[in-house]
Amino acid sequence: MKRDEALKTLARHYPSGIVVAVYQSAFDWLHIRPHPLNYFCTGAMGQASSHGLGLALGAPGEKVVVIDGDGSLLMNLGSLVTVANLAPENIFHFVSQNNMYEVNGKFPIPGADKIRFDQMALAAGYRHAFCFDEIDQFDSKIKEILELKGPVFVCMKVQPGQFYPLDYVTIHSQKTRSNFRNAIKTRLQSKT
């Protein structure tokens, strides 16, 4: 399935919650679902799931969707164990698996034709794990998946779709971080 199709489908079912997104998925998501609760300030490659875990623990009444990359997750595989061990029910860990470091020259990830991220997540202790490569299947299951108790892992086997600009300035800007800080503060205050 095309990544933009998958992300548009996810956005339709998850229009206004917290999302941690990285690399090409972040650039896509920025345009597909602009929202102050988008969290792009992960800083270092591989850290999406760890930022998502902190948000899931700090905002237990909120769902947290992480849109990780395959190369990124490979840099932080231990985080699967950390997340599964703490097991917050509100974390939904998606991975865009395109088998390459897309924004770093499209070089293939190691083991691209062998890796089963969903199996890794289950072995680490996630409650549920799924893998999709057809948009129709993904579309028909995503609503149900987002109602499960986490940690939930979803591998999206994707190909590039529509191109969105690599907007590093917005991703790393102080304004984006301030918007998120204000938005989550407001969201948390509204629930107390």
Partner 1 sequence: MKPHQNPLPIQGASIIRAFEEAGIRYIVALPDIVTCETVLWPLSSHPKFMFIPVCKEDEGVSICASLSYCSQRSVLLMQHTGFLDSVNAIRAIAVDYQLPVVMVVGLQGAEADRHPSDSDNVGIRALGPICDALELQHTVIEHEHCSVSITKWIENAYDESSPCVIFLPYPPK
Binding residues for partner 1, rule: CB under 8 A, are 39, 41-44, 46-47, 50-55, 57-59, 76, 78-79, 81-82, 85-86, 172, 177, 180-181, 184-185, 188
Longest CA–CA span in the chain (Å) reads 48
What is the nearest approach in angstroms of partner 1 to the Cβ of residue 177? 6
**Residue 115 Cβ vs partner 1, minimum distance, rounded to whole Å:** 19
Asked if residue 115 lies in contact with residue 92, where contact means CB atoms within 8 angstroms, the answer is no
Residue pair 53/66 in contact by the 8 Å Cβ criterion: no
Burial 138-166 (b: 16+ CB within 10 A, else e): bbeebeebbeeebbbbbbbbbeeeeebee
The first and second tokens of residue 42, run together, are: 């992960």
Tell me the closest approach of the beta carbon of residue 185 to partner 1, in angstroms. 7
Q: Which is nearer to partner 1, 7 or 184 (CB)?
A: 184
Q: Which of residues 141 and 181 has its CB atom nearest to partner 1 in the complex?
A: 181
Write down the least CB distance from residue 98 to partner 1, Å.
23
